[in-house]
Structure 1
Amino acid sequence: MNEPLMLTEAREAPQVAERQAGSAALEDAARAIRAFAPSYVVTLARGSSDHAATTLKYALETQVRLPVMSAAPSVSGVYGADLDLRGALVLAISQSGGSPDLVEALTRARSAGALTCALVNVEGSPLAQAADLVVPLCAGEERAVAATKSYLAALVLGARLVQAWQPDPALARALDALPGTLEATLRAEACARDLAAQLARDVPHRLLVLGRGLHAGVAAEVALKFQETAGLAALPFSTAEFAHGPARLADPTTPAVFFQARDATAPFTADTLRTLAGYGTPVTVIGAGTPDRAADLPTPDSGHPLTDPAVSALAAQLLIAHLAVQRGENPDAPPRLSKVTRTR
């Protein structure tokens, strides 16, 4: 088969990050948010966008120090229960902006007293029209069913929103350097392809995907990509939650893809990695090494914990796309899936 769109679109990540820089819409939104002074934040998203929202939750809670909750669109759309959202900032994240349940939930949130902001790729979409504020993802057209550059755009834009809302010199430097860091990540594609060939030989129908903190959402997204493009039953877990029961699944026949970050979670995830070694679990480590072992797919240090997830996610996307091809799958046309999912 020809090279999949999933790969070519993932390789556009550096250009997407570059296009976001200096966004007037982002600065305008940050000013409006500061003036509104929300007392808490609600994220509204599904699928890959919801995984980006999980990373944004950790970013906002650790940097802005506001509590963040994830909205359940069915509460208003199916159960008809409107929440009192006075004082809330509702951040909706979407590639298409066309899912009716998200549009309805955002419309109701706005009526319930929230300040609403859409981080969306299609600027003229119904979701954008329903929001008080709109900040474009700047991913450009994405044709592959599996979200790659739009998911990365949401990760990076989340970090940019935190920076615009509450400036931090270290984060500013990391964001300025991020297009180059993503370019450096792409130079490890040969390593990702070799690992994919190994996984294609060894992986059964189930594998674990583990990350923690800012990488918990990345693990969830990577598991989704394994599911939809390679047809694997990939199970995502926070390494903290993994010890509370799912560790029963770890054994020599169940491989794990493991994100080792460079942030405050590092010593704790390194402990989990040692535990998995004791179980005999075959582990593919993405990110940083530990005192006990080097990373299998090393990634460059982006310079800040809030920008590292985008780098890790890009490396994983390369691995997954090559794995799907190695398994004879077409990652651009997964069975039973379409680009826009219109849930109600």
Structure 2
Amino acid sequence: MPEAADEANARPGAHMSAEIAAQPQMFADLLAAHAAVAEVAARITERRPRFVLLAARGSSDHAALYAKYLTEVLLELPAGLVSASSTTLYGARPDLREVLVITVSQSGGSPDLVEVTRTARECGATTVAVTNTPHSQLNTVAELSVDVRAGAEQAVAATKTYSATLLSLYLLVDAVRGGSGAAAASVPDLASSTLESTRTGVEDAVARYRFADEIVTTGRGYSLATASEAALKLAETSYVSARSYSGADLLHGPVAAVDADTAVLAMISSGHGGGAMREVLEAVHARDADLCAIGSAARTVGASHRIEIPECAEELAPVLEVLPVQRLALGLALAKGEDPDHPRGLRKETRTR
């Protein structure tokens, strides 16, 4: 019934809901295309880069932050995030020989990222585009490219393109170190389990936080990317004042502003990053904040609310952690009478220079 399908797609949040649900199969499709990522990794390995720079904006910037941790921990190479304006506004042309520049952009059309990538290649860098748009301008200027294979995304808020980018970056970095991607083989099944097992916890969290005016998100290590993405998703879909902090930074001052009127979403999965969050959450709990712990180690800390996810390798946890976060953003937007498919004043692609 075409009319029924059109009516279903017209419901607020219909696209975002469908795209969240599509992620397990998308992960499986991405893993099946591992050979293409391995080819790019082989080219990178031949160049033996000594430093990695990552360029991105918006949700892709959080994926780049995740890749920074992957690079520093798994490859033991120094990594940094590009300041695009040093090129686009100030015209800087640094010596980038022996540097790998990875530009992450779902659309591949942001003028500043295209300019940064073109300049980096001219300055001697090995350039890689990681994008959901394989025929984009970014792919034209980059030497190498990785297709995140998420398919068309209708909702303005990125969901499946974000998680597909995370998994693509993991597979790329893992292949550069000589891995086969085997540790990620269970991700599709774990994602299905996460979406199903967290449904009630997310619904309870929506009811709990629908009237929250201020939310702080926090995490450490790999999960800092999830905390950053959580703040963005909540701000752009529910118009909540959401701020993200590294757990370490939260203790260095901002925790003083946390009180009983503050909702705190803490990412805490098994591993070194989650372990380092315990002191942080003790401080937050002592200030009577309403704490929601999200992750495979959520059950191990004192919290007002918990959303537990299945356990996996720590470096893959952000791929799963973000799923209930996306559902929470969707649910809060709908509870507030908003349409997260079409946030006020936002477009799918933001063009900056």
Q: 1:125 aligns with which of 107, 116, 136?
A: 136
Q: 1:80 aligns with which of 91, 94, 104?
A: 91
Provide, for residues 164-204 of structure 1, a one-character-per-residue CA deviation record: whole Å limited to 9, x for no partner.
111357xx343100000100011022321221122114x1x
Matched residue SS, 1:208: strand
Partner of 1:195: 205
Partner of 1:340: 349
* More displaced stretch, 220-229 vs 263-272: 263-272
- The whole-number CA distance in structure 1 between the counterparts of 2:315 and 2:195 is 19
Aligned-pair RMSD on alpha carbons?
1.4
Q: Which consecutive segments of 4 or more residues in structure 1 shift more than 3 A? A: 290-295
TM-score (norm: length of structure 1)? 0.95
Partner of 1:177: 186
Q: Work out whether 1:248 is the aligned partner of 2:259.
A: no
Contact conserved, 1:220 with 1:237, CA < 8 A, in 2? yes
- The whole-number CA distance in structure 2 between the counterparts of 1:339 and 1:2 is 16
Partner of 1:51: 62
The 5 Å alignment of 1:81-230 reads 81-168=92-179, 172-187=181-196, 188-201=198-211, 203=212, 205-230=213-238
- Percentage of identical aligned residues: 35
- The whole-number CA distance in structure 2 between the counterparts of 1:297 and 1:5 is 24
Contact conserved, 1:97 with 1:126, CA < 8 A, in 2? yes
Aligned length: 339
Partner of 2:5: none
Contact conserved, 2:55 with 2:102, CA < 8 A, in 1? yes
Once the 2 structures are TM-superposed, how far is the Cα of residue 111 of structure 1 from its aligned partner?
0.3
Provide, for residues 259-316 of structure 1, a one-character-per-residue CA deviation record: whole Å limited to 9, x for no partner.
11211122220121111111000011101235443761110112x1111111001111
Q: 2:28 aligns with which of 18, 27, 31?
A: 18
* More displaced stretch, 256-265 vs 185-194: 185-194
- The whole-number CA distance in structure 2 between the counterparts of 1:259 and 1:228 is 20
Partner of 1:7: 17
* More displaced stretch, 216-225 vs 183-192: 183-192
* More displaced stretch, 28-37 vs 187-196: 187-196
TM-score (norm: length of structure 2)? 0.93
Residues 219, 291 of structure 1: alpha-carbon distance in 2 compared, 3 angstrom cutoff: closer
Q: 2:284 aligns with which of 252, 276, 279?
A: 276
Q: Which runs of 5+ in 1 are unaligned?
A: none
Once the 2 structures are TM-superposed, how far is the Cα of residue 159 of structure 1 from its aligned partner?
0.9
Contact conserved, 1:257 with 1:285, CA < 8 A, in 2? yes
Contact conserved, 1:193 with 1:323, CA < 8 A, in 2? no
Partner of 2:45: 34
Matched residue SS, 2:128: strand
Q: 1:331 aligns with which of 309, 316, 340?
A: 340
Matched residue SS, 2:315: coil
* More displaced stretch, 97-106 vs 7-16: 7-16
